[in-house]
Amino acid sequence: MKVLLDTHALLWWLSDSDRLGENAREIIADPVHDILVSIVSLWEIAIKIRIGKLDADMNDILAAIPAEGFSLLQIQPEHLQILMSLPLHHPDPFDHLLIAQAQAEHATFLSEDGQMDHYPIKRIRCSCSRNYRQNTPSCRSYKGAKPYPVSGRLISVMKRISPDLFFEP
């Protein structure tokens, strides 16, 4: 499965945040999946760092992407064409381009943002919510996944990230 990480999902993975549920961790850690990180997310992170909303080292984040086995997704003309046809259900321009990329790449979007439900993409939630039944695809454990790494995974590199500052559901 091809999976595009929302910006907060990437940060939660790199900082080993409890906000990233077991199912999401298993999907990201399973080498069978092609995990995509958009340049759009990196641009969003850079802006958050510059305005003081996120305390992180951009070079560490950039180095983490290939180290984690993730693929960097550039912006392509097809992404922009799809972007132009998307409805404006909410005002976040980063989300709009990520949605367009997920559509164009036929990728599942890993995001906790409920606004994504208004768009024609397949989404997996980052965590189980009490509003969702435990047996929904977003909450049940992914079968066939290998255990995800717990120790040593960029925790020291990303320890300054406060994920709660970045995304509020």
Distance CA 61, CA 54 (A): 12
What is the residue extent of each domain of the chain?
Answer: 2-166
Question: Which tokens go with 17?
Answer: 């945040």
Asked whether residue 73 carries a pLDDT value surpassing 90, the answer given is yes
Q: Which of 75-79, 91-95, 107-111, 120-124 has the highest mean pLDDT?
A: 75-79
% of the chain surpassing 90 pLDDT: 59
State the pLDDT at residue 134.
39
State the pLDDT at residue 127.
84
Contact of 2 with 105, CB cutoff 8 Å: yes
Specify the range with the lowest mean pLDDT, choosing from 15-19, 75-79, 112-116, 131-135: 131-135
Write the pLDDT tens digit of every residue in 119-148. Answer: 878 888 888 643 333 334 444 333 333 333
Asked whether residue 155 carries a pLDDT value surpassing 50, the answer given is no
Asked whether residue 85 carries a pLDDT value surpassing 50, the answer given is yes
% of the chain surpassing 70 pLDDT: 75
CATH superfamily of 2-166: 5'-nuclease (3.40.50.1010)
Calculate mean pLDDT across residues 36-58. Answer: 95
Distance CA 156, CA 164 (A): 18
Per-residue CA distances from 92 to 55, 70, 88, 113 (Å): 21, 24, 9, 11
Asked whether residue 43 carries a pLDDT value surpassing 90, the answer given is yes
State the pLDDT at residue 123.
84
Mean pLDDT of the chain: 80
Phi, psi torsion values for 24, nearest 5 degrees: -65, -40
Contact of 60 with 3, CB cutoff 8 Å: no
Q: Is 123 left (phi over 0), alpha (psi -120 to 50) or beta?
A: beta
Q: How confident is the model at residue 14 (pLDDT cuts 50, 70, 90)?
A: very high
Distance CA 65, CA 79 (A): 21
Asked whether residue 13 carries a pLDDT value surpassing 90, the answer given is yes
